[in-house]
Every structure is written in structure tokens, then in C-alpha cells.
Structure 1
Amino acid sequence: MQSNTEMPARKRTHNLAYDLVEKLSQSIVLGQLKPGDKLPSEGAIVQAHGVSRTVVREAISKLQASGLVETRHGIGTFVLAQTGEPGLRLNVDTAAGVRAIVELRLGLETQAVALAAQRRSEHQLQQMRQALDDYQRLSSNNDSCVEADRHFHLLIAEATDNACFVEIMQHLGSAMIPRTRVNVAERGQADLGKLAQLANLEHEAIFNAIKRQDPDAARAAMWLHLSNSRDRFGAGS
């Protein structure tokens, strides 16, 4: 049984890690860290951001899962190029652009989640549970839950045991969960906390279907989740 002092410490570590992920991700998106650049050393990040080595390691792990960086053992961690086929442009600066991404995900992730339900391992299921626990905790504290959301969907792709799904989802990168880049005014001053709660319920339905290894239910739950996401943006939410 965990002590009452252990849980707050773990919670702070997770929150600090997500904050650090956001800062490093922003540096990559803004071009301050370019493809091929080596990230500062663990010690340098600790000193620059005033966090522990545990926080830094967790943040780097999440950046790896998002496809933003890769770690070459014995050398360091490097920024990956976020490039696509010529002519492919992912516009997530408007609600219309976000809806287009969601429509793409509808076709991709409904099939991915059905395969994940059939092929997932117990370890992958545990990782999904942790991602949803992180999402719920962060959203209840009004903290950014974007990375936890993205991680959950990436874990589903990994559970398909099909590298193509993983590569496509990693290519989508920050466009996969792009709501932080949509102007709040354009979205009609939506109650973001309420939307996070609704999304959390939908995530739980997806998780439970995967846990039961029911591909049809998983496909239906994912379709409902992404359809609702599309409609929420369509309604200015």
C-alpha cells in the first residue's frame, strides 16, 4: 500500500514532466530546435528548467512516443524531421483544418483500434490505463492533457502490431491532438473542462472494448469518439 506522501510526489513528477514536454515541443515546433539537432544533456535540462532527472527522463520518453525525438544510446537524443510527402499540408490553425484531420483519423483509427483489441498485450493495456489515468488527473486540475491524449492514441497504434499505423500516427505528430492551436474565440469560448470530461468518457469506452478484446465494440467506440470530436469543432467547441 502506498503512503499518502508517495502519491502527491508522483503526481508532481507527472505534472512537471508534461510541462517540460510542452516547453521542449514548442522549441521544436518554433524551429528553435531543428531536425538533427541534439537536445541538451540531461544535466543541462535539469539546470535550465529546475526539475529532477526523473522528470527529464519521463519527458524525453513522452517526446519519443510522440515521434518528435529519438535517442541514440551512448550518443544522445536528437530531433526528428517532421516531413511528409510533397504537397501534404496539415493545417490545424483553424477549426475547419482540425475537422479535416479528425475525418482522416476516422478512417485510420477505427481500423487500428479493432486490430489493437485483437492483438494487444497485457503490458500495452496497462500503458493505456496509465495514459487515461494521467489524462483524467490533468484535466481535473485544469492542466494540459494533450500529451496524455496523444499518448493514448499512439499506444493503440502500437498495439496493432503493424508499424504502418505507428508511422502514420507519428507523422501526424502535434496535428493529431491539435486543439491547443485553435483560436479559442473561433471555438465559441467552449467549456474546455466539460469537453475534456466528455472525451474522457469516450476514451474509457474505447479502453474497455480493447480490454474485453471486442474489435467491433472498439471500432464503434472509436468512431463515436472521433465523430463527436469532429462535431464539437463543427459546433464551435
Structure 2
Amino acid sequence: MTVDPSAARPFPRRKRLAEELVARLSQYIRDGAYKRGEKLPTELEIVEREGVSRTVVREAILRLQAAGLVETRRSVGTFVVDMPPPTSLHIGPETIATLGDVINLLELRIGLEVEAAALAAQRRTVPDLEDLKAALHLMKESSSLKTSIAIHADFQFHLRIAKASGNAYIADIMKHLGTKLIPRTRMNAAYSERKDRLAYLDLLYLEHEKIYDAISIGSPESARAAMFLHLNNSRQRLYRAHDAQTSQ
């Protein structure tokens, strides 16, 4: 009787090997080696190519099935049915180059941060409110300082709302996006006159203050409305700034 060599190995090792095989097979699909609708190699072929046991291959295939990437048809084989998601978010300075890119990012923020503000109003703690108040104060103080300081203060306010939401995934996405969230450099170019720029910064501060007030009193609906108003206003300001620059 043939004994599967993986059966004698500790379970954690077999699990790790299966995870590594899932990653490799997913990459093959992502690279186009196995296209949607195509049949994967047989278990035995994968065993020989990848140097793992049949138990590891079967566990990896089960994981790919659970993820909706492949399906196994009895007596026929296993077929690719979907493309694996990217291994990381491709959002960086090189991908945010046009007004359309900035608008798309703002639309993502509306979907994410409006609900984050509502959750923060429900879940915020006293330390959360203190952190938000400190970030708001920094925004006020930085209005007349360098653009980089003002952008940092703005981002910290939004990041602390994400943390106050109590949802680690929201906070992680916000940290990944970083200060790319804040299209302040484009607006500063539009408001080149000092008085116009200061009026713009004052307006931004008031919008953030309304968000803070809603979270502070624990009103999810008010927080949701205040965040939507701020982000939608930012979108409209970008459109107007773009129109003003192109008409010159």
C-alpha cells in the first residue's frame, strides 16, 4: 500500500504547503498560464511539477474552489472559472495623475468614509474624541503654514475617524491610501491668491468641525450627512477649479 508522505508530516506544515501552492496556482491564473474556462493539470501532474503530495494538491484545489476560482467536474477535471484578485491595492502617485483619477478616489472615499463616520459616532471613546479634537486643532493651526503640514493634519483627522469606527479594515485601507486621499495640492494651485486660499482653508475647517460635532454628540445620521457633505463639496470644488483653469 502506498502511503501519502504528507500524512506523516505535522498538520501545520501541510497547511503551509497548501497555502503556498494556492498562491502559486493563483499566480499562474493571474499570469494567463491557465485561462478562464481552461482545465488545470491533473493532480498527478501538479504533484510532479510542484513537488508536493497529492494531499497538499487536493487541499489547495479545495481552497481554490471555496474562493470561487475553480470548479471540479466529476470525471472531467478542474477548470478555471474566475481571475484571482490582485495581491495588493494598486493605488499610488503613479495611478492618480488626472482629474478623473482624483474624482474616482473621492468617490471611493464617499463610499468608505461616510459609513466610517457613522460608525465612529456610535463607537467613539473619550480618547478617540480627544484625538479627533487634537487633529482638528492642528488643522486650524496649520492653515497659514506649509501645504505639506496642512495635508498631514487633514489626513490625520480622517484617519482618526477610521480608527474610531472600530473597524480595523477601514483603518488599514485609509493607512494604505495615506495622504494621497487629500487633493490639496490641486486646490492650492487653483486658489493661488492668499485671500482665496485662506477662505478655502477656513471653509474646509468648518466642514471638518461639523463632522467632529456630529461624532462628538453620538449621532450616526448627522455624522454620515456631515462627511458626505464635505466629500461631495470637495468633488464639486475640484470640478470648478478644473473648469476655471481650463478656461484661462
Q: What TM-score do you get using the length of structure 2 for normalisation?
A: 0.56
Distance 1:195 1:208, change over 3 A: same
2:160 corresponds to 1:155: yes
- Sequence identity (%): 41
1:141 CA drift (Å): 4.5
Matching residue within 68, 88, 98 for 2:90: 88
Asked if the contact 1:157/1:166 (under 8 Å) is kept, the reply is: yes
1:110 paired residue number: 114
Q: Which structure: larger Rg?
A: 2
Normalized per residue, the structure richer in helix is: 2
Q: CA RMSD in A?
A: 2.2
2:212 corresponds to 1:207: yes
Asked if the contact 1:116/1:156 (under 8 Å) is kept, the reply is: yes
Please show how residues 63-212 of structure 1 align to structure 2 within 5 Å.
85=87, 88-90=90-92, 91-141=95-145, 144-180=149-185, 182=186, 187=190, 189=192, 191-212=196-217
Distance 1:107 1:87, change over 3 A: closer
- Runs (5+) with no aligned partner, structure 2: 1-85, 243-248
**C-alpha distance in structure 2 between counterparts of 1:88 and 1:173, whole Å:** 13
Distance 1:115 1:140, change over 3 A: same
Paired AA for residue 170 in structure 2 = F
1:87 CA drift (Å): 7.4
**C-alpha distance in structure 2 between counterparts of 1:134 and 1:170, whole Å:** 19
Give aligned pairs, total: 152
Q: What TM-score do you get using the length of structure 1 for normalisation?
A: 0.59
Instruction: Specify which structure has the bigger relative contact order, considering alpha-carbon pairs within 8 angstroms and separated by 6 or more residues.
Output: 1
**C-alpha distance in structure 2 between counterparts of 1:87 and 1:211, whole Å:** 32
